[in-house]
Every structure is written in structure tokens, then in C-alpha cells.
């Protein structure tokens, strides 16, 4: 008598589908062919209820696997607690789960139905499920710092816009003469200057010779280039400029200096975060390799490592490119084969942004270490690609090189 071993294995499957929400989850437990072990029920993300769920799963006789979606940080308490109990937990991409759920003609959207759908997904994709492997503590901390860095950088942009807005009232045209915060040095020349000379009246109150001497003294104290011609240009701007807020109004000085103070606080936080990221990144074996790549400096190296994480979690360079969302999936139907394809953008938006910044630096400085990537960008531009498209193509090549070089470190 022939024995269908696959069918026997299927009977022993138990899929625990968990639909994650903020502070609570809905759980459904199924066997193959829709056999219900436990109808959907709610579990709060507290130790007592998660422990009861873990004990329920551990008491199951058959092989059980928990399936849930990655939902920002909301799924982490459930994932962490169940894995500490030795339970198999597969964390799936929300987009893949959405595609699976949309197969039916009638889409029902409730927490209970979602938990049933996730449990069914576990049964249908049993042999594709992978037990989630927690990233190394250094990579986890780096990623958290990297995401917070992006958050504070958005605040920096808003703070700079607000300062620029105030300067349009008090010192129109001054911003183009001074650089704002520099990531590498941590200095903000614009804020330093405005803190000392917050209104054109504070400049024109002096003669040009007096201001030039005062500017040179200020530059020396703040360790900037003591450029007398720059001072003369600023004095000319102040003489010709028309401020629309009077320097005699107490609110004017207060608002300008408050905008500077807020921007400084944000910049201080950014500097603190990037310093910690650099310390952590330097403790990893791949740091020197990544830092030596063209376009990658002291700031971009920890950012790249933070967003990519442990390179060993990718099975090849194409997987890393797909993670960045710059892959162009093939499109073919009948006799038609698509050739003008766009990138998928189904990946890490942050990594795409950091990678594009790396290509911009590489193109600007023509780094000799990765001249192949630089030449590839030029080649794409010569083929008629736009500068942006050429940089994206260069990033594709850069990530392949990144994967090969960093993987070599761990062999």
C-alpha cells in the first residue's frame, strides 16, 4: 500500500495566525482544510495574556508555527515573548499578505477575518515559512538609531525653513552666503553668524572697516575661514537690504534667536546620534570595508550599515537590491516582453535615500576606489538616461559590490 507522507505531514500542521494591532492582537488557530482548532480571540500585549497564549501553543500535539505580519514596532512584544518561549514565529511582509488576502472576490476586513486569513496563509505556505531570527544587538541598535536620525533630520529641515523664514524679515538674502549644518563637522555657520548678527541693523551700525574687523574676529573665535571679502559682501548686502521687521521691536530678536536655539538643539541631537552610530559601526567587522568604498564617508558608512543590517540575511546581491526596492521585475505577456521597466519601490525607502546620496557624493568626488561605479553612471548618462536614472543604475551596481565585499568578510 502506497503511503502519502506529504498528506500525513499536512495533517500534523497547525498554523497560528495573529493579526497585530496596537496593544492587542487577534489570534486564530487552524489545521489544514480549514479545520478550526480555536476560533478567533483577542490577546492583550501584557505578560499574563501572552503567557497564556504561549502555553496554549506549547500544549498543541502537532507541529505548530505562528504567522504574523511585520507592523512597525507593534508586533515586537508578541514576537519577542513567543520566541523566548521557544516557539516558531514567522514574520511576513505585509505586502505579500495583502496580495494573498486579495485573491477572493469579496474582501472582508475585520480583525477576526484577518487572523483567519493569516492562519490560512501559514497552511498554504507552510514549507516557505522561515523562523524569524533576531538580529544581532548591534545591528538592532544601529537600525533604531538610524531611523531616529532620519526623524530628527526631518525636524532639522523644518527648523531651518523656520529660521530662513525669519531671516527673510530681518536679513533678506543672507542665507545664500552661509552654509547650514554640516553632518561631518557638526558645525552650523549660518546659525553661528545669525546668533551674533541677528539683524542687518546690527551690521550697518558699524562702518565697513569696523564690521570687517569684527567679522574676522568672530570667524577666528568660531574656527571659520577669516575671509575679509566675504565680510565685505555681507556688509554690502546689509547696506542694500530692506528688512521688513524693525530691530527695535523686542519680539524680532526673540523670534530670530529662538529659531536659532531650536535648530541648535536638533543639530546637537543629530550629532549625538551619528557619533553613537559611528561607534557601533566601527565595532563591526565590515566597517573598514564599507568605509573604503567610493562615496562612503564617516557619516554615510554607519547609515548604510544601519539600514542594510547583517549582510548574511541576504542570500545574494539581488536580494539586497530587492530589499532596497530598486529592482525592476520582468514583465512578459504572450509575445510582448517589457523593456522599459521602472523600479519596484517595494523596499526600504530609507536605504534608497541613503544609497542615492552615496551616488551623488561618488559622482561629485569621482572616488577612485569605486571608479567602476562612477564610469557606469557616466555610461548610463551617455546612453541617454537622466542623471537620476543613471544614479539609480549606479546604486544597483554599488549594492552588488557591497554585497560581494562585505560577504567576503564573513567567509
pLDDT digits (tens, 9 = 90+) for 225-260: 888 999 999 999 999 999 999 999 889 999 999 999
Dmax over CA atoms of the chain, in Å, equals 106
Judge contact between 78 and 32, C-beta under 8 A.
Answer: no
Q: And the C-alpha cell for 155?
A: 525636524
* pLDDT score of 128: 87
Element (H, E) at 257: helix 250-282
Share in percent of the chain as helix, strand, coil (round to 5) = 60, 10, 30
- Burial-class residue 220 by CB neighbours within 10 Å (0-12, 13-18, 19+): exposed
Do the bridges between strand 36-44 and strand 13-20 make them parallel or antiparallel, or are there none, so unpaired? unpaired
* pLDDT score of 371: 77
Helix (H), strand (E), coil (C) string for 290-306: HHCCCCCCCCHHHHHHH
Q: And the C-alpha cell for 243?
A: 528688512
Q: Is residue 184 pLDDT above 80, yes or no? A: no
Judge contact between 346 and 95, C-beta under 8 A.
Answer: yes
Q: Is residue 134 pLDDT above 70, yes or no? A: no
Q: Is residue 10 pLDDT above 50, yes or no? A: no
Q: What is the pTM of this model?
A: 0.75
- Burial-class residue 62 by CB neighbours within 10 Å (0-12, 13-18, 19+): exposed
For 313-371, write each residue's pLDDT tens digit.
Answer: 888 989 899 888 887 765 555 655 555 667 777 788 899 999 999 999 888 876 555 67
Amino acid at each position: 500500500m502506497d503511503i502519502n507522507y506529504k498528506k500525513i505531514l499536512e495533517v500534523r500542521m497547525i498554523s497560528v495566525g495573529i493579526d497585530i494591532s496596537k496593544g492587542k492582537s487577534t489570534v486564530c488557530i487552524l489545521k489544514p482544510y480549514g479545520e478550526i482548532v480555536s476560533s478567533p480571540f483577542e490577546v492583550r500585549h501584557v505578560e499574563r495574556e501572552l503567557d497564556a497564549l504561549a502555553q496554549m501553543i506549547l500544549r498543541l500535539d502537532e507541529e505548530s508555527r505562528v504567522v504574523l505580519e511585520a507592523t512597525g514596532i507593534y508586533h515586537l512584544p508578541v514576537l519577542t515573548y513567543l520566541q523566548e518561549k521557544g516557539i516558531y514565529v514567522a514574520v511576513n511582509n505585509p505586502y505579500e499578505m495583502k496580495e494573498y488576502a486579495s485573491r477572493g472576490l469579496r474582501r472582508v476586513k475585520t480583525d477576526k477575518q484577518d487572523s483567519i486569513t493569516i492562519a490560512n496563509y501559514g497552511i498554504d505556505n507552510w514549507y516557505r515559512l522561515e523562523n524569524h531570527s533576531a538580529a544581532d544587538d548591534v545591528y538592532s541598535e544601529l537600525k533604531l538609531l538610524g531611523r531616529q536620525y532620519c526623524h530628527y533630520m526631518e525636524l532639522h529641515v523644518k527648523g531651518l525653513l523656520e529660521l530662513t523664514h525669519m531671516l527673510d524679515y530681518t536679513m533678506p538674502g543672507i542665507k545664500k552666503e552661509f552654509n547650514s549644518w554640516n553632518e561631518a563637522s557638526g558645525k552650523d555657520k549660518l546659525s553661528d553668524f545669525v546668533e551674533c548678527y541677528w539683524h542687518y541693523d546690527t551690521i550697518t551700525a558699524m562702518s565697513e572697516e569696523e564690521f570687517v574687523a569684527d567679522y574676522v574676529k568672530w570667524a577666528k573665535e568660531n574656527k571659520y575661514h577669516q575671509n575679509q571679502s566675504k565680510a565685505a559682501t555681507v556688509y554690502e548686502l546689509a547696506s542694500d537690504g530692506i528688512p521688513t521687521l524693525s530691530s527695535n521691536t523686542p519680539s524680532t530678536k526673540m523670534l530670530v534667536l529662538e529659531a536659532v536655539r531650536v535648530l541648535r538643539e536638533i543639530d546637537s541631537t543629530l550629532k549625538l546620534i551619528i557619533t553613537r552610530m559611528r561607534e557601533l559601526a566601527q565595532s563591526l567587522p565590515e566597517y573598514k570595508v564599507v568605509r573604503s568604498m567610493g562615496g562612503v564617508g564617516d557619516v554615510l558608512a554607519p547609515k548604510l550599515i544601519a539600514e542594510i543590517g547583517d549582510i548574511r540575511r541576504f542570500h545574494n546581491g539581488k536580494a539586497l537590491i530587492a530589499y532596497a526596492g530598486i529592482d525592476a521585475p520582468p514583465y512578459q505577456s504572450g509575445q510582448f516582453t517589457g523593456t522599459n521597466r521602472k523600479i519596484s519601490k517595494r523596499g526600504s525607502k530609507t536605504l534608497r535615500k541613503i544609497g542615492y546620496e552615496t551616488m551623488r557624493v561618488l559622482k561629485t568626488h569621482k572616488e577612485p576606489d569605486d571608479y567602476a561605479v562612477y564610469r557606469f553612471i557616466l555610461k548610463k548618462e551617455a546612453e541617454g538616461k537622466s542623471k537620476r536614472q543613471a544614479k539609480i543604475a549606479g546604486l544597483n551596481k554599488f549594492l552588488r559590490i557591497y554585497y560581494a565585499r562585505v560577504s567576503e568578510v564573513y567567509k
